[in-house]
Amino acid sequence: MTARNISRFWEWGRKIICVGRNYADHAKELKNAIPTEPVLFLKPPSAYVKEGSPILVPLYTSSLHHEVELGVVIGKGGNAISQTSAMEHVAGYALCLDMTAREIQDECKSKGLPWTLAKAFNTSCPVSDFIPKERIPDPSNVKLWLKVNDQLKQSGSTSQMIFSIPYLISYISDFITLEEGDLIMTGTPKGVSAVQENDELQAGIEDIAIINFRVQRQER
Ligand SMILES: O=C(O)/C=C/C(=O)CC(=O)C(=O)O
């Protein structure tokens, strides 16, 4: 599968596997312990939204948080992938936001329930265009940032990840077969906060990829 083919279809119909609490500072800001194994959850492809369309605040939440993340796009599928061969399975990257209905997540956590409603709703995964692998030669050391209405909220580096990209690919593929076009969202650095209707979000992987989204309330 060439990067050109992947860039045409990857965001419309493959798995989105998300890693939670992969930055110690973010785990701490939400008063969670530092994980000793990756924390995983899923979003459906219907969560994708591209620039030009708004991020919708779901009907049932008033506390929608932004989380900026580096996404890894799988180019060659497989299972039980070794850490040493993991990067051969990567076609490229994407800049992603893991939009989170925080008070729903808190309620799910307190009841011991899955985070599905808090993480998997429509437009919960705003993404950039596909970024070919060559444009990010060292994904273990790139800066991620996010501004709300031009105010810097998140600024971190993928060098702060607890579990590296090769480790995550290997770990996930021991449980779930990875397929061409799947997206792995690798977690967010600290600085998450609530957004409001009409806010303008701008995020970047350094100046390699920059995305802009407006927040709008969902209507019936
Ligand atoms: O455990 C929590 O309270 C919240 C965790 C998240 O929402 C974490 C992420 O999705 C992340 O770290 O990227």
- Please state, as a whole number, how many other Cβ atoms lie within 10 Å of the Cβ of residue 179: 13
* pLDDT tens-digit series, residues 91-138: 999 999 999 999 999 999 999 999 999 999 999 999 999 999 999 999
- Paired strand residues for 100: 65
> Closest Cα to residue 48, out of 130, 156, 135?
130
Mean pLDDT confidence for 142-149: 98
The band of 62, judged by pLDDT with boundaries at 50, 70 and 90, is confident
Buried-exposed string 13-23: b where 16+ CB fall within 10 A, e elsewhere: ebbbbbbbbbb
Q: Which one is predicted more confidently, 196 or 14?
A: 196
The label of the residue with tokens 């785990």 reads 27
The response to whether residue 26 sits with its C-beta less than 6 Å from ligand 1 reads: yes
Distance CA 171, CA 199 (A): 37
> Closest Cα to residue 39, out of 181, 174, 177, 163?
163
* pLDDT tens-digit series, residues 161-196: 999 999 999 999 999 999 999 999 999 999 999 999
- What pLDDT, on the 0 to 100 scale, is given for residue 4? 59
- What pLDDT, on the 0 to 100 scale, is given for residue 63? 95
Closest-lying ligand 1 atom to the alpha carbon of residue 18: 10
Number of helices followed by number of strands (H, E) in the chain: 5, 16
Q: Which domains does the chain have, with CATH numbers?
A: 3-217 (3.90.850.10)
Give, for ligand 1, the residue of 100, 102, 162 to mutate: max count of ligand atoms closer than 8 Å to Cβ: 100
In contact, 113 and 121? CB cutoff 8 Å: no
Tell me how far the alpha carbon of residue 4 lies from the centroid of ligand 1, in angstroms.
32
- What pLDDT, on the 0 to 100 scale, is given for residue 167? 98
Give, for ligand 1, the residue of 96, 98, 111 to mutate: max count of ligand atoms closer than 8 Å to Cβ: 98
Question: Which protein residue's CA is at the shortest distance from atom 10 of ligand 1?
Answer: 20
The response to whether residue 182 sits with its C-beta less than 6 Å from ligand 1 reads: no
Mean pLDDT confidence for 43-49: 95
- What pLDDT, on the 0 to 100 scale, is given for residue 14? 84
3-state secondary structure of 132: strand
ipTM of the complex: 0.95
